[in-house]
Chains A and B, each alone.
Chain A
Amino acid sequence: MPLGEGRRRRVLVADDEPYILELIVTRLELAGFDVRPSRNGQDALERLADFKPEAMVLDINMPVLDGFGVLARMKAQGLSDKVPTMVLTARNSGDDVARAIRLGARDYLAKPFKDEALIARVGRLLARPRPVARV
């Protein structure tokens, strides 16, 4: 999977499972993103300022500060629109999705997910598609 030449888009990934975190980070790096890992919600919030991510992949179930907590702080600080965020949820947790959307999340992805879906969704967070209207 060749890497692109230009500036790579910054993506922050927060997950408390170290192996899963590393796996996501590796996949996104292989897809050409500039990725920073974060082990919990509190850490992720702190990195927003220095890393200035253009998108974030946020696990819901985390210790210290969970995904909802992170979203709530971001909303309070007016960061929701500036850092489009996709949450990672367990299967069959529609309630979690709605709650996350209300708190400003832009998209969601249910675990376990396919590599392709992860990369496609992260791409969608970063650039609005411009389809050609065929009227």
Chain B
Amino acid sequence: MTMGPSGVEDAFVFIAEHTNDVIVRVDADGRIRFVSESARRYGYAPEDVIGTPFLRLAHPADAEALAQATAALLRGELDTALRRQHRFRAADGAWVWMEGNPHIVRGPGGDVVEIVNIFRDVTRRRELEDAATAQAELFEAAFRSVAGGIAILSPDGVVRRANPAWRRIAGRDKGEAVGLRMATVVHPEDMARVRDQARALLRGDIDSYESDERYVRPDGSFVWVRVTASCVRDAGGQPLHIVSQVQDLTAQRAAEEALRERGAQLREQAELFESSFDNAPIGMALVGTDGSFLRINDAFCRITDYPRARMLALDFQTITHPEDLNADLEQLTQLTAGVIDGYRMDKRYIRADGEIVWVHLSVSMVRNADGSPKHYVAQVQDLTERRAAEAALRGSEARYRLIADKMTDVIVQMDAEGRITWVSPSVAAYGYEPDTLLGLTTDQIVHPDDYHRIMAGRAPGSDHRGDQQARYRAADGRWVWMEGNPQEIRNEAGEITGAINVLRNVTERRAQADLFETAFQQAAIGKCLVELDSSIFKVNHTLCLMLGFPEAELLGLNGDDLMHPEERGAGDHLIAELVSGEIDSYSRERRFRKADGGYLWCGMTIAMVRNPDGSPKHYVVELRDLTEQRAAEMALRESEARYRMITENTSDMIIMSDLSGKAIYVSPNVRASGTRPEEIEGSSFAENMHPDDARQVERAFMKLVKGGGSTRVRWRARNRATGAYTWLESNPTLVRDPETGAPTGFLDVIRDIDLQVAQEAEIAEATAAAEAAAAAKSQFLANMSHEIRTPLTAVLGFTSLLSEMELPETAERYVGRISGAGNALLAIVNDILDFSKLEAGKFEIRPKPVDVATVCEETLQLFSTQAQGKGLSLAFAAQEDLPRVAMVDGDRLRQMLINLVGNAVKFSDEGGVTLTVAQAAKADWIRIEVADTGPGLDAEAQALLFQRFTQIDGSMTRRHGGTGLGLAISRGIAEAMGGEIGVTSTPGQGARFFVEIPAPASELRPELAGEEAAVARIDGTRVFVVDDNPVNRELSRRILEAAGAEVYEAGDGGEAVERLGLLPVDVVLMDLRMPGVDGRAALGMLRELAGPNQDVPVLAFTADADLAGENDLAGFDGLVRKPIHPADMYAAIAAATAWASPDEAGEIGGPANAVG
């Protein structure tokens, strides 16, 4: 705070006039002492607010905080640069958020004089910030809580943000994720494809894309993910960032993979078996060790004429001709015992139609791993076909044996009561000895939960193969899923005698199916299976929740029913490609109808499921709810948009730079200057600066580094686009390190002032033109006056000569007329000359000690004759305690009063004129009023009154005469004196003119009293005062000018000699003791110097104490003592310049230098 009060004041006025901010000055008592004009914006007239306690304007909730902040500020605890925001009441009661920037102003003693606070209205800014914050929070919540992974990427593929789910999927810590390049995340084999898609997205070729790709985790493992990417753009369509949504596909992929693999295995086995068994050209049967048929092929059925189902219910004994049975059983026993490996025989079967058919039978044994008999394989050839089939048989036998050995199915035979009568040896795989199961019933080995279901499935008329899946207990207690294929066994009478069931282990298959089903049902996304005709046949729970339909209702719908009308058929060509196999799947964003009639934006993926032969089977449709994603994107876009709006709608450009001027941050609206923030960032903005301005701007900035604060500096910037220069005004502030206080850079708010500069230039030009015109006119007036005055001087001069002669009475009267008219004309010409001087600013005011009241009264009395002639009264009144003598230019005061009183008399036809003089409201000022009883003036006339050449109307000029300059000159004089002049009037009630001028009391009065004679003798004398003490010079000037002398001065002997060489004067007052050239030396030089003052009288101007004696003043023409006694001074000067009286002039002395 090195600024003095007047410096603060100046700076203050400057700021107050140039800012939209509200500036409030609060005194030490907390009352407002000043408010800038900008307060009117909030409905406050500054004059109404002044004196109000400042805190009263604050919001009650903020008042205490404000008071505390102020107290802290006063204690020096609060950094003045710290800006606080508080609410203040506007005049209409609205609350306005203001950001204060308070500064303490201290007096010389360190006491607090006032607090100057500069408030900026941040209401709108806060609203925008609040809204943006809300949006940002909304987005943040969505971003964090959404189940899927979301990452926000820069257009060049760097992770800017990633939510927890994304980080989990990608296996990255929070710290690692941000700044990660996607090129290091995406599996190298997928990278090219991902990059192509991203480019297409950034180009705007596509709105979004979905891709399955692998993310590589830091540990080297990778994870399959499904990525849905979209692009967020700025208002100009430039990509701001990519929003990437990621779904972990690992589990799904693994399940699908396993399912596919297992299915393929099973299919392979089945195909192998089926093709070799079913398609064999001879009859084949798998026969249990008890003789029952486990499996038979078509050829066998054909030979025996039994339908497959009936055949399977029978055993071979039943259909073997009785005469051949024993031989067959005998062979079989040997085979079973291992005595023989197989046997062949011709035998007869009794066909279903009762006929007997001769066949050639070939039987082999399939054993379990432990060698125990498993079942028999019987190959039967109709002897009629025997030869044809013989070759084929031999080839297939070995192969079939192999298959039979591998069979893992368990065959169970039951009697009519359901008791197990036989179990195939393959049951050993489940830990059982077949014998241990004999006699048990199904309910004893089947899981209770499944028992009734499978029994219901075995009821007559029911044929639900799928329902025959049940859990069977293994020997160790495990439950094993088995699928049964029960067949009744009937006797010849058609009665059920028992049943046979082939159980196949489906545990693994069920596990996979469960896995699939679980994945389907529990998926986070909606899924459904759709037939080729678009009918929906399976939906998951999520989809029901998403669309709000119960499952049953959805199952009845056609896929098209759910599509938005605008999008129906939009994907037909893609479906066609899907069906034709050109693509495996596709994804689009689509709207789907909800139960409530609304539509839901979904990310839809459709894939094709095919039959083993490759033909289309059905579609798998996945729907992902995009509401959250869309909301998040929308929130993001809005936040961006609002932020942009804030920064871009600020007309000021904002540049943050380091101390070297290198830009660190550049607000986007530098675009208006034909550049882009990126171009300026990192470079110095001086690069575009006009070379002529660089030094000045640098100085201004450097000054900030030394002195802090802020400043304004103008410079021209070259528009990079057009090359043209634009005027800008920088308003830089020094930025300091908040910790150390060391300067770190500048915050520069730059405003385009091109228009302003142009306007200023126009105004300056117009002003210069007007001034030139005015000067020319003044010069013309001066010349004219001079031209008029020269002959007028002659007229008056000769008139004066004439009046001194003895003239006839009539002639004397005429001379009087000429003299009066001539003097009137001279007054007019002098008016014009004064006026041109006023205009040229050359008007001099010379205050002298004047008895103001006397001047006023004498001036009034000048008009007594004129007033009497019109029947007007003249009245004078002076305040009693007025200082008798004041320092005023009496001549100019008289000139003003002559104008005012002259007008008053001129325009009043009755009544009178009153002149009063009194102390003005301001100390050491006087107020003089001239009141008349004339017609008065309306407001319009009052406004015009003091303008040059203006009278109330032209007719007045003609009627009353005058130049019309009187009041304009009076105003000029009043203003030149530092005072003012004005009028109050009501039409019809006269006018009251007033003059207020500074009139400090003079102390010279006592000395002046009684010295009238001396004063008269030095009137017009030119006195040159030489003194090194300015107080003495000033005092001398006042005393001498009071007596009508012309005073010139110099501060030392050298200067005096130099000036006196060119300026003729009548007398010199010379101080003796002066630094440099002293009084005696100066006198010597003056006498040596051939010039106008070589012989001028020089008086010593000194105190007695400085004189050594009478001889000490050798060479001087006299003495003026200090301290000054005016009367003595006047007398000494008068004596020194005493002149032979004019009547002696031509006679005394001889010619000093007669021309030879």
Contact = CB atoms under 8 A, between A and B. Distances in A.
Interface in B1055-1075: 1061-1064, 1066
Contact of B1117 (A2, A19, A131): A131
Contacts of A53: 1155
Given A19-B791, A23-B801, A131 B1138 contact: yes
Interface string B695-735: 00000000000000000000000000000000000000000
A131 B1137 contact: yes
Given A79-B1155, A111-B793, A134-B1119, A1 B1139 contact: no
A121 B1118 CA distance: 21
Instruction: Find the residue from A26, A49, A90, A135 having the highest chain B CB count within 10 A.
Output: A135
B797 interface: yes
B1105 to A, nearest CB: 15
Interface in A44-85: 48-49, 52-54, 79, 81-84
Contacts of A119: 1142, 1145
Interface string A27-54: 1000111100000000000001100111
Nearest to B1095: A128
Nearest to A92: B842
- Please list the 10 inter-chain residue pairs (A to B) with the smallest Cβ-Cβ separation, ordered nearest first: A19-B794, A32-B1146, A131-B1136, A52-B1155, A4-B1147, A123-B1145, A6-B1147, A23-B797, A98-B1062, A128-B1095
Given A8-B1146, A33-B1145, A133-B1116, 12 more contacts: A20-B790, A23-B793, A31-B1143, A34-B1146, A52-B1156, A79-B1155, A83-B1155, A84-B1153, A92-B842, A119-B1142, A132-B1118, A134-B1119
Contacts of A135: 1100, 1107, 1110, 1113, 1116, 1118-1119
B818 to A, nearest CB: 14
Nearest to A49: B1155
Nearest to B1146: A32
Contacts of A20: 790, 793-794, 797
Contacts of A120: 1139, 1142
Contacts of A133: 1113, 1116-1119
Contacts of A3: 1146
Interface string B1107-1127: 100100100111100000000
A66 B1137 CA distance: 31
Contacts of A97: 1062-1064
Given A54-B1153, A92-B842, A101 B1142 contact: no
A112 B1153 contact: no
A134 B1118 contact: yes
23 contacts: A1-B1142, A2-B1143, A4-B1144, A20-B790, A23-B794, A31-B1146, A54-B1151, A82-B1155, A101-B1062, A102-B1062, A106-B1064, A107-B1064, A107-B1092, A112-B793, A116-B1142, A123-B1142, A127-B1145, A127-B1148, A127-B1152, A129-B1097, A133-B1118, A135-B1113, A135-B1116
Contacts of B842: 92
Nearest to A12: B1155
Given A102-B1062, A134-B1135, A1 B1119 contact: no
Contact of A134 (B1132, B1145, B1152): B1132
Give chain B's interface secondary structure class.
loop
Give chain A's interface secondary structure class.
loop
B1145 to A, nearest CB: 4
Contact of A1 (B1116, B1143, B1156): B1143
Nearest to B837: A92
A17 B1110 contact: no
A127 B1145 CA distance: 9
B789 interface: yes
Contacts of B1116: 133, 135
A13 interface: no
B1031 interface: no
B778 to A, nearest CB: 13
A34 to B, nearest CB: 7
Contacts of A14: none
A49 B1154 CA distance: 11
Interface in B1076-1095: 1090-1092, 1095
A134 B1147 CA distance: 27
Nearest to B844: A92
Given A83-B1155, A131-B1137, A117 B1145 contact: no
Contacts, number: 150
Contacts of B1154: 52, 54, 82
A122 B1145 CA distance: 9
Contacts of B322: none
Contact of B1151 (A9, A32, A107, A114): A9
A106 B1092 contact: yes
Interface of B: 786, 789-791, 793-794, 797-798, 800-801, 842, 1020, 1061-1064, 1066, 1090-1092, 1095, 1097, 1100, 1107, 1110, 1113, 1116-1119, 1132, 1135-1140, 1142-1149, 1151-1156
Interface of A: 1-9, 17, 19-20, 23, 26-27, 31-34, 48-49, 52-54, 79, 81-84, 90, 92, 97-98, 101-102, 105-108, 111-112, 114-117, 119-120, 122-124, 126-129, 131-135
B677 to A, nearest CB: 61
Contacts of B789: 112
Contacts of B1119: 133-135
Given A9-B1146, A82-B1153, A19 B798 contact: yes
Contact of B1147 (A1, A7, A122): A7
B1062 A131 contact: no
A105 B1147 contact: no
A95 to B, nearest CB: 10
A6 B1148 CA distance: 8
Contacts of B1097: 129, 131
A125 to B, nearest CB: 10
B1111 to A, nearest CB: 9
B1147 A101 contact: no
B197 to A, nearest CB: 89
Contacts of B1152: 126-128
A45 B913 CA distance: 59
Contacts of B786: 90
Nearest to B793: A112
A131 B1116 CA distance: 10
Contacts of A17: 790, 794
A17 B791 CA distance: 9
Contacts of A102: 1062
Nearest to A122: B1145
Instruction: Find the residue from B1066, B1132, B1140, B1146 having the highest chain A CB count within 10 A.
Output: B1146
Nearest to B791: A19
Contact of A129 (B797, B800, B1137): B1137
Contacts of A128: 1095, 1152
A98 B1144 CA distance: 31
A64 to B, nearest CB: 18
Given A107-B1092, A135-B1119, A32 B794 contact: no
A81 B1153 contact: yes
A117 B1117 CA distance: 23
Nearest to B790: A17
B801 A126 contact: no
Contacts of B1153: 54, 81-84
B1147 A32 contact: yes
A77 B1117 CA distance: 33
A14 to B, nearest CB: 15
Contacts of A54: 1151, 1153-1155
A1 B804 CA distance: 10
Contact of A8 (B1090, B1136, B1147): B1147
Nearest to B1144: A4
A48 to B, nearest CB: 7
Contacts of B1146: 3-4, 6, 8-9, 31-34
B1020 A81 contact: no
